Structure 1
Amino acid sequence: MQDFTQKVTGNSSTNCTINHSIHQTLSPTIYILVFGVGLPANCLSLYYGYLQIRAKNELGIYLCNLTIADLFYIFSLPFWLQYVLQHDNWTYDANLCKICGILLYENIYISVGFLCCISIDRYLAVVHPFRFYQFRTIKAAVVVSIIIWGKEILMSWFVFKHADISMDAESHIICFEHYPIKDWEHNINYYRFFGGFLFPFFLLLFSYCGILRVVRKSHGTQKKTKIQIKRLVSSTVIIFLVCFGPYHILLVIRSLFENSCMFAEKIFNIYHFSLLLTSFNCVADPVLYCFSSESTYQNFVKMRDSGLTCLRCLRTKTQVSYQLKTLETLRKSNSVPAVEEPDLIIHHYYKQS
């Protein structure tokens, strides 16, 4: 630890005195919530994506990659939790800091990339069902996934080489952040805003507007179903904007105006609040892109019914062990009442083959 501190002192330091109170109050709560909800939800999402891959559905490739990216970030949350609870003082290895920082930031753009893939896949399936079929195959999905991961790995390597550990005025080792931001970060932030947020957002908007236009003109679609589709698409776009919009806008603001500690101190709380909002993407992804699909919802119902059946079997065995029953009584106790499936919340154009 002493060598690590000496290395930090020799590399970089900052005289900015930042109030990190948001990290001792709001951040731990958000990290614990996202970890507790996001971990099981994404594990189920990974299983559902696997089922879709088995069904030769290219959408399963994108869902699995999206889930893996979310899980990588979720696994880094315990380190960030300890970091903020120790008043923004990194006590682990410097390389581990860089890795956790890359998992935090690059998860945003890997997620955005696969969200765009999902929206384009749905757009092609609904708007051009008999064209561009070659782009809606397992092989094409694998190639696109490799390109997305490769691009982000190269970007991560660039950030890994340039990012260093700094020390604040209180001798706390700051992980993956600089106040004020450094010169090399400006171009990265502009790229993140235009290439990592704005362009994908317009692509997402174009895809779902095309889907809504086709559904609105469809005479065979019930009014109730059209309303459900509109709500689902609207929720997707709104969550995208809420999770990623504030953070990227503040990235540009920091790059344009943050040239002193005074500005960094003023924007610190709102900037880190926007960064916390990006964490909720790990919870929203399984809900919007996995649990809302018809096939995965039916699988969930089957799992639920199987679990209820097992519980009934266990209950029956327990009752048999405590009391002697006639043959007629046993026959009645083993009968399982029919379970009425609820209305499916997904719509016809999201139905997975």
Structure 2
Amino acid sequence: MDSKSMLSVLLLICCAFAENAPPKGRGFAGIKIENVVTLDSAASATLKSGLTTVFFPIIYTLVFVVGLTANGMAVWVFLFRTKKKHPSSIYMANLALADLLFVIWMPLKISYHVNGNNWIYGEPLCKILVSFFYGNMYCSVLFITCLSMQRYWVVAHPMSTQKKNNKVAIGVCLSVWAFIWITSIPLYLYDHTVKIENMNITTCHDVNVIDANDPQSSVKHALFYFMFMSTVSFFVPCIVIVVAYILLLKTLGDNVVDSTAAKSRKKAIVLIFVVLVTFVICFIPSNFMLVLHYALLNGGEVNNGYGVYITSLCLTSLNSCLDPFIYYFVSDEFREHVRNTLLCRSNRTVEQEKATFSSMKYSKKSKSFVSGSSNTESSHC
């Protein structure tokens, strides 16, 4: 199933769950009058619909189970099984760590939606959940960008010593983490929980409080923030990734007679496909809808497609399940370590087997591998 088919199926499922939710309404903008926040009937119906109380918990449960298992194993492999660290493995390890830090908060998100979108864990935990959600999204984009640039550099400059410079990779990763943590600070400066009086629930980052006396001031800061993040942490990296992959394919295309280049080209195409699927499902819709949502709220529009907006944010979490495919297809070493880990084979056992195999010589007469130290011992392969 290609990326378009996957996205179509997910959207059809979303429509099926959301069919009972009225499409009109200002879009989860709680009107605040005399410190009392209320929602209109359309927004209330959407909060009660199967889209948020059934479909979202299913997606988040999938993300938690698959993401925790796959990324937990990836972090284990990169930390304890991979002896020779190189820039690509450093970028992939940080990407896996970002996903792992995100999925460990999923039980709170699942509980929130199962309980009818009622947040019972307090404002501080809501802020942490929101910051880790957006931090993971932009962290993933930036580390995928770093990995894509590294893949191009390795292929285009195979003799360069910079392709093995771990200090540069570590410095870049620290810079990405610092940037994400700094740009997450604004998310802690205002409350994300809203008490909805007419529904007797408390939402977490689902309702924007609009002051009836000054509507635009309520969302203009959020609009500026997400415009900045979408531009710097998504749009610009997207351009870099596209340019890197075009140059990568061009470089590999110039060496079509080389069998090694042909193999690298195949791996590059698979990598591009996996990254494309991740962006089409997880990052492009959510970043587009984030800016559009707050722009429409700022303009006072009465129909801002909130169901599509919250669904795109939900699908963003699937990147924690798709990222492990990047590690698997990019690194032969990672695949080998995962296989050995699943078979409970230690590094020492693997190294001993490699040493034993490398010490054998192939005998044409007996059509078998013969030990280099003795002609009387043989092992058929």
Q: Show CA shifts across 1:169-223 (max 9, x none).
A: 4232111233367221010121122112111111111111111111122121375
Q: Match of 1:111?
A: 140
Unaligned runs of 5+ in 2: 1-31, 211-217, 350-378
Q: Compute the displacement of 1:249 (Å).
A: 1.0
Residues 84-128 of structure 1, C-alpha deviation per residue, up to 9 Å, x if partnerless? 111111101210110011111111011111111111111111112
CA contact (8 A) 1:28 1:81 kept: yes
- Structure 1 residue 305: deviation in Å? 5.0
Query: Is 1:216 aligned to 2:253, yes or no?
Result: yes
Match of 2:286 in 1: 247
Compute the displacement of 1:261 (Å): 7.7
RMSD between aligned residues:
2.9
Q: How many residues align?
A: 302
- Structure 1 spans left out of the alignment, 5+ residues: 1-7, 311-336, 340-353
Superposition deviation, residue 154 in structure 1: 1.1
Q: Note if contact 1:53-1:61 (Cα within 8 Å) is conserved in structure 2.
A: no
Distance (Å, rounded) in 2 between the aligned partners of 1:134 and 1:228: 22
Alpha-carbon contact 1:167-1:173 (below 8 Å) kept: yes
* Alignment-mate amino acid for residue 105 of structure 1: Y
Q: In structure 2, how many angstroms separate the alpha carbons of the residues matched to 1:213 and 1:14?
A: 57
Tell me the residue number matched to 1:280: 318
1:199-210 matches, cutoff 5 A: 199-210=236-247
> Are 1:48 and 1:290, in contact at CA under 8 Å, matched by a contact in 2?
no
Q: Does 1:184 align with 2:221?
A: yes
Could you tell me whether the CA contact under 8 Å between 2:219 and 2:294 is conserved in 1? no
Partner of 1:237: 276
Deviation at 1:70, TM superposition (A): 0.5
Q: For structure 1, which segment, 146-155 or 289-298, has the greater mean C-alpha deviation from structure 2 after superposition? A: 289-298
What is the SS of the residue equivalent to 1:173? Answer: strand
The answer to which structure has the higher helix fraction is: 1
Which secondary structure state, in structure 2, belongs to the residue aligned with residue 103 of structure 1? helix
TM-score when scaled to structure 1?
A: 0.77
Q: Contact conserved, 2:82 with 2:337, CA < 8 A, in 1?
A: no
Identity level (%): 25
1:127 aligned onto 2:166: no
Residue 158 in 1 paired to residue 186 in 2? yes
Higher strand share: 2
Q: How does 1:293-308 map to 2 (within 5 A)?
A: 293-306=331-344
CA separation in 2, counterparts of 1:193 and 1:237? Answer: 18
Q: 1:37 to 1:164 in 2, by over 3 A?
A: closer
User: What CA distance in whole angstroms lies between the structure 1 residues aligned with 2:310 and 2:332?
Assistant: 37
Kept after mapping to 2: 8 A contact 1:16/1:261: no
For residues 310 and 274 of structure 2, what CA distance do their matches in structure 1 show? 24
For 1:120 and 1:48, locate their aligned partners in 2 and report how far apart those are by CA, in whole Å.
23
Change in 2 beyond 3 A, CA 1:54/1:89: same
Q: Partner of 1:296: helix, strand, or coil? A: helix
Q: TM (normalized to structure 2)?
A: 0.72
Match of residue 34, structure 1, among 29, 51, 63: 63
1:139 maps to a residue whose letter is K
> C-alpha distance in 1, partners of 2:325/2:273?
14
Alignment-derived partner of residue 346 in structure 1: none
SS at match of 2:70: helix
Moved more, 241-250 or 12-21: 12-21
Whole-angstrom CA distance in 2 between matches of 1:281 and 1:89: 25
